[in-house]
Structure 1
Amino acid sequence: MSGRSRPPRAVAGASPERGRAVRPTLRHRYRALAHPGAWWLWSLSLGTAATRTTNPLLLALLIAVSAYVVATHRSPAPSSRSYTAFARLALAVLAVRLFFAVALGSPIPGTHTLFTLPEVPLPHWAQGIRLGGKVTAEALVFAAYDGLKLATLLICVGAANALASPSRLLKSLPGALYETGVAVVVALTFAPHLIADVQRLRAARRLRGRPDRGVRGLLQVGLPVLEGALERSVALAAAMESRGYGRTADVPARVRRTTAALTLGGLLGVCAGTYGLLTAAGGTYGLPVLCAGVAAALAGLRLGGRRSPRTRYRPDAWDVRAWLVVGSGVAVAVLLTLASARDPQALHPGVVPLVAPTLPLWPALAILLALLPAFLAPRPAGAGRAPEPTKEPS
């Protein structure tokens, strides 16, 4: 055997040129996805637009637009199931709103009585509240409009959860919110893992011919599920400790005080500005106070990030397509706000007297602008497929 070193053995089916070509391709594919923050801003803008109208046709159009974008751009990951869960929650909210309108009455006077429930007499201190009585069509329509607005807002939030990966969103948070973001992401991903463990253990018991339902099945499945959750928590804690989680840098006291003042003042300014925008009397000071509060909060978060020294592996780039995604949602919110101020009757159909809602042309065309991400944003691998089911043991 000679003393010369042998060249490395080539692996079958691999070449240096191929290895160099695959790595940039994977990096390009990873960075080609839309920024998760852009999806959240797009969804929140649609939710803001939903709060500006009670027209059921416009609200249904908002739901249809969000559903189409989710159907074309959600990944087959289990986290994309959140859209269906939020849709069911929206239906439950709408049903509860109608139930309260029937059981507790409504302040909307009506002349079209549908049916009458037995009314329960209440003491004098409960004036303005009734149990039972006449149920009018005007009251039900008003409750349906109000509940549909809240349901649309919930569906828009569900679209953000289905389109934006929690882990990718966590990497994009500023350093001041990183620890809080980790806690939120861990809390949000605990329930899906727990449900997956229950499904896996129940499938294993069915394959072995053992009961998986009832109290006995629940008790025999609950112990392995809790054991798996404990092991996952210990593994997560060890991984976080090995990566230096919780390590903070030394910053001067004046920087800490300035950070706290800017963050607290900015949040108070955001609350005051939002309140001013939602009320008719605060329209003059709402927007300036909101902008000043956002600027102060961002400055506080920037200073607070100095205490959390960390690096990002392959950070998501905020490119032109992310701006287009956000711009389409913001345009819908702004145009519907302007339309609500100019033509309130079209965006808020009356219920006394009862009139059939009409579809206003320009607000409907404005909502269709939210479809731009379906054609401009890149699709993740496997987009449009159903979420991956839980694998059953063989």
Structure 2
Amino acid sequence: MKSVDAHLADILATVRALAPLEVELEQALGTTLAEEVASPVPLPPFDNSAMDGYAVRAADLPGVPVTLPVIDDVAAGSGELRAVGPGHAVRIMTGAPLPAGADAVVPVEWTDGGTATVTIGRAAPPGNAIRRAGEDVQAGEIVLKPGTLIGPPQLGILAGVGRRRVLVRPRPRVVVISTGAELVEPGNPLGPGQIWDSNSYTLAAAVREAGGECFRVGIVGDDAAAFLDQLDAQLVRADLVITSGGVSMGAYEPVKEALSPLGTVRFERVAMQPGMPQGFGVVGDDQVPIFTLPGNPVSSYVSFVLFVRPALRKMQGLPAGPPAPVPARTTAPLRSPQGRRSFLRGILADDGTVAPVHGQGSHQLAALAAANSLIVVPEEVTEVPSGAFVQVIRL
């Protein structure tokens, strides 16, 4: 059998980062920056008030309380030139330009709030409540580097330096196809021998959580020709395809039957539990990567965590590799088959312990839903005593 590490290495050697494209700022969330972004101006662009209050000369407040005449008002966005002379005050709002001559802002809470005159009860040192030009960013300074995942704060600084469009690696477009004559869409009644399709919903959610755009398409029965027709129809909008089911060793395996003759998809046994039957390769004129995952729901999701998520990160231009584990102490003994790396479902607690959930079958979706981690048991280990340290992958 092929090792887990070798299978992931082959996947990452095949998958390529998506080509950059320029998008409007509103479409940039969840994408990866593909250019260096510098600020064309200092931020803030001018000295301004950090609070609602009164712009004054600090030297006019040697002893408090003191009463000063209020000679003007300055609102945020004002473009008029203002000045504060000795012994005067200007009422100022948060974000408003600091008048010439002023070197401090007295917060309104330190005053009586007067409009014609103001009585100040607390002295303000020079620079008080003033945002200096360029104190956040200097003109020409780099604010974001290529490879940055764009979230809300990154969108904020892009807008803050005046960018309307930005060059990014887009979110991968992923098509998810479930196969199996036994599958029925949730909400429809079950017939004899049928089950509701959970895999496509689980995988579609996992794709979105990993930063991709997902297109979940209809169920394909145990018909290789119908599967190929559906696949061909979907490739036009796919950067990556995920299928579940139809890759085991028995009869009625439409995915394996359809793709094996192409010679571009390999079906292999990977030394892992759950999820031993795996397929990966490329399809179509554009060499779109395709993951053919096993049909059991736990096997399918564990395979996504180990193999598909790292591939999606590479497509986004992000660092890609195996999931980073954390150490934990198991609260129960563990068993694992010789020669396979096991990924047991567990509940990782804040105290650094991990408890295996009840129900480790690859079909037991409720147990997976109760878990928040995978307990890793290496290939050469068959038994782990209670209290031993293990490596855990957070879900």
TM-score, normalisation: structure 2: 0.23
The structure with higher relative contact order (CA 8 Å, sep 6+) is 1
Question: TM-score, normalization: structure 1?
Answer: 0.23
Indicate the structure with greater helix content. 1
Structure number with greater Rg is: 2
